[in-house]
Structure 1
Amino acid sequence: MTLDVEPVRTELIEFGSLSIQYDQRVLRPRRWTTAQSAWASALLRTAPAGPVLELCAGVGHIGLLTMVGQDRPLVLVDSSEVACDHAAANVERANLPGPVDIRCGLMDGLIADEERFALIIADPPWVPSADTGEHVDDPVHAIDGGADGLDLARTCLELIGRHLGDGGSALLQLGGLDQVAAVSDHLTDHPELDLRLVEHRAYDDRGVLVLLVR
């Protein structure tokens, strides 16, 4: 018996001023997340010196758009080899003035203890496991955030707490206001992270961005 295998088709999507490639094995870039890039870029105008880190970067679109016109180093981290391959192609296409380092693997093992970042962008999967079936066009591994949707978000918070430089800030993407409240409670319960949630911006039913500072 021959199984029908869907051929891999590389596609391009306009993402702000960039042209970003991806395929059906990774999460398709959401255009609303250009708002995350715009907010991050604005934060960089007053950020201390230092590189930028994007966790759960996927094909790199949010971090790359953030860095248009910036000569700071950018580090992109993702666990998917397919996503990292697309990110490498998107780095070439973006032609940024600063260097970009792509690290593929589990994020909590890819950042050296001494590394500090002026800005950290985090885009973890945030769909609760029980709800992933509602998103039939998305690869499950790219959207599954565990029982409450926050498994990888909590890992991101640990890494932000460990690697955010003095005077820096972080932008974390979440799925809704209930998750914002849960993250706020998590920070209260873990004062060792030394992080405060100081602002959130909701984008209808598409997602929420939260700003974290020391």
Structure 2
Amino acid sequence: MLQTSEPQAQLATFGGRGIGYDERVLTPRPWTEAQSLWARELLDELPDGPVLEVCSGAGHIGLLAVSGTNRPLVQVDADLHACVWASRNARAWGVDSDIRHGTMSEAVMVDERFALILADPPYLPSGDVTRFPEDPLTAIDGGGDGLDLARECLDVIVRHLVTDGAALLQLRDVEQGRELVSDAAQRGLTIAESRQFDGGAVLLLRRTTEGRADGSQAGP
């Protein structure tokens, strides 16, 4: 019988602490620590309530954002391997994270609301993914223009963000973010700020209306 071995576990340093992962999961990018630190700054001023991270991968961004706070954390990823590593990392960090395997639209309950939403979707155009053969396809392929999953993130944000909450959406660059301005506005969201970092960009989104993407009213 052919014997197959499990991929070798690896350890990255993130926020001065260890994050476990293997080749089936996107390697944690050091630059994304900036997204976590921005999130932590926002949490000081946002209303009470939990934090949601969609497309969470190994969980490092959300873990660093809430570590040392009393904020409950929910992390969602469509890849089972990512969820396994996110669970391991949460235990290692001593963070009580509710980790959910599934699509972002299905894994979050209709009535759940969050003070902060972190969204870290794949954002490469499908035509570019072959340039990165070491990365899992599902973690980097964002569809034709690279923004298919980012638009799904916008739907989740407008449905589940409290009125005075904030969302941080990770993208390739600020220019890619400009392509989402109209999509955000159609959903009752505005891009309040964009920050470019060495490895990517992060957009700060706020609500402009109390409506949801399906036309009904959001909670408080």
- The TM-score with structure 1 as length reference comes to 0.93
The aligned counterpart of 1:77 is 76
Distance apart, 1:7 and its partner CA = 5.1
The aligned counterpart of 1:213 is 206
CA shift digits 1:159-179 (9 cap, x unpaired):
000000121000000112331
- Report if the CA contact (8 A) 1:16-1:34 is conserved: yes
Aligned: 1:186 with 2:183 = yes
Distance apart, 1:113 and its partner CA = 1.1
CA RMSD of aligned residues (A): 1.4
CA distance in 1: counterparts of 2:108 and 2:136, whole angstroms: 26
The aligned counterpart of 1:141 is 138
The aligned counterpart of 1:36 is 35
- SS of 1:54 mapped into structure 2: strand
Aligned: 1:45 with 2:39 = no
Letter in 2 for 1:25: R
The aligned counterpart of 1:158 is 155
- Report if the CA contact (8 A) 1:51-1:119 is conserved: yes
- The TM-score with structure 2 as length reference comes to 0.90
The aligned counterpart of 1:199 is 193
The aligned counterpart of 2:18 is 19
CA distance in 2: counterparts of 1:141 and 1:5, whole angstroms: 22
- SS of 2:151 mapped into structure 1: helix
CA distance in 2: counterparts of 1:139 and 1:104, whole angstroms: 17
Unmatched segments (≥5 aa) in structure 2: 208-220
- Report if the CA contact (8 A) 1:202-1:208 is conserved: yes
Higher alpha-carbon deviation: 176-185 or 13-22: 176-185
Runs of 4+ in 1 over 4 A off after TM superposition: 4-7
CA distance in 2: counterparts of 1:125 and 1:107, whole angstroms: 13
- SS of 2:112 mapped into structure 1: coil
CA shift digits 1:98-154 (9 cap, x unpaired):
x31000011101111111000000000001100001112111111000000001000
Match of 1:121 among 104, 118, 121: 118
Distance apart, 1:6 and its partner CA = 7.6
The aligned counterpart of 2:218 is none
